[in-house]
Amino acid sequence: PGVSRAGATISMALLLGYQREAAARFALLLAIPAVIGAATLEWSSAMGEEATYATGPTVLATVVSFVAAYAAIAWLLRWLQTRTYTPFVAYRVVGGV
């Protein structure tokens, strides 16, 4: 418990000799098929049911989520140009204990 897909991917990429930023970019790009697959699966299962949600708020939430995720990824990639993963590692170790 406590190991994410991105964390495991970044760790392995670093062990294979990737630069910090390249490892993070690779891990984040790997999320795209997983997110699209999960959204497609959820959407297809919801299509057979009676609509219990409003389309407008769902679209708004999706757009806001995309913008927030994009900003977080941009920040992380800028951070990794000059800093290490040490704060994130410390956070996970403390959380694991």
| Per-residue pLDDT reduced to its tens digit, 52-81 | 767 788 889 989 999 999 999 999 999 888
**Residue 85: what pLDDT?**
86
Q: Name the residue with higher pLDDT: 91 or 19.
A: 19
Q: State whether the Cα torsion 69-74-80-84 is positive or negative.
A: negative
Determine contact, residues 20/80, Cβ cutoff 8 Å: yes
Q: How many domains does the chain have?
A: 1
Q: How far is CA 44 from the centre of its chain?
A: 22
Domain that holds residue 54: 5-96
Q: How far is CA 49 from the centre of its chain?
A: 29
**Residue 51: what pLDDT?**
64
- φ, ψ dihedrals at 71, nearest 5°: -65, -40
